[in-house]
Amino acid sequence: MHNNPVAYIQNPSQDKSCTRVLKVPKDMKKPIYIYYQLDRFYQNHRWYARSRNIRQLRDPRSAKDTGRCKPEATANGIPIVPCGLVAWSLFNDTCSFARGNETLAVNKRGISWRSERDHLFSKHVYPRNFQSGGLIGCGTLDPSKPLSEQEDLMVWMRTAALPKFRKLYGTIEVDLRAGEVVTVAVQNRYNTYSFGGRKAVVLSTAGALGGKSSFLGRAYLAGGAACLGLALLLTLLGLFCPFPVDEEPRLGPRRR
């Protein structure tokens, strides 16, 4: 462990590669989802979450619309696209995976939501003047690709509600067997040391009800079943105990 981790992560000439070995505990069917996990990172802070401009992401004519983006609104007097602290703090650790001598390809396509690609991030808006100010943030963006193809950015800008969260990094499109060893090579660039945070890489699969935690799926099923039962009950009451239409309403005072 480095004596000064903040200086280590901020030194551009320092080698930041590290290797971790994971043993697969049980069979994992493809696709295998790769998540990066951050702890003690408050994306839900009001000042941070508001530091963006939705119109700028959608419309190329709104490139100069940097309202709410301070302090990352302009650099050298030129508007930043995309502006704001959320984009500026983009996660930039990278990971590669191997099983023995076999490299496991990471699929980065489709990690964002279709609604984000089609409606929120425009195919006509390109990064401009991004990470070119005096204080460099984290990840960079390819200026030749429109925002609708920058899926890592879309995932990151979907702010988390809790300080400990996971975000989708990519997928592995092969099965893994129990007992196999996966080597993870990480480029440790993201500075969590300055705020005492932690980060991790997580491999997971999804079942019929989603991820490992099935609480939300079960809650939706229970709520749907309750609504269906209530609808059937009201239907039966309407069929067998109808309200007499020719009777005066009994809610108000009776007239003479």
pLDDT tens digits for range 19-76: 999 999 999 999 999 999 999 999 999 999 999 999 999 999 998 999 889 888 998 8
The DSSP element (H or E) to which 218 belongs, if any, is helix 215-240
| CA gap 87, 138 in Å, rounded | 9
- For the question of whether the overall pTM of this predicted structure is more than 0.85, the answer is no
* pLDDT greater than 80 at residue 215: no
User: Is the domain of 165 the same as that of 237?
Assistant: no
Bigger pLDDT: 249 or 60? 60
CA-based R_g, the chain, Å: 25
> Which region among 11-20, 120-129, 133-142 has the lowest average model confidence (pLDDT)?
133-142
* The pair of three-digit structure tokens given for residue 88, joined into one six-digit string: 């500026």
pLDDT band for position 214 (cuts 50, 70, 90): low
Give the chain's domain count.
2
The DSSP output letter for 116 is I
From 74, 21, 37, select the one nearest 160 (Cα to Cα): 37
Residue 254 lies in a domain: no
Domain span at residue 190 reads 5-206
The two beta strands, 32-39 and 165-172, are antiparallel
69 domain-assigned: yes
pLDDT at 217 over 80: no
Residues in CB range of 77: below 8 A, 6 or more apart? none
Q: Are residues 20 and 48 in the same domain?
A: yes
Joined tokens for residue 200? 């991790």
State whether 221 and 163 are in the same domain: no
Q: How far apart are CA 118 and CA 109, in angstroms?
A: 14
Residue 156 lies in a domain: yes
Within a domain: 250: no
Shared-domain flag, residues 110 and 157: yes
60 and 181, same structural domain?
Answer: yes
Mean per-residue pLDDT, 192-218: 78
Over the chain, what is the mean pLDDT?
87
Residue 86 tokens read as 């959320």
Do 31 and 80 belong to one domain? yes
> Distance (Å, rounded) from C-alpha 129 to C-alpha 79?
7
Say which residue, 251 or 223, is predicted with more confidence.
Answer: 223
Task: Count CB atoms within 10 A of the CB of residue 161.
Answer: 8
Based on the domain organization, do 44 and 85 belong to the same domain? yes
Both tokens of residue 23?
A: 């043993």
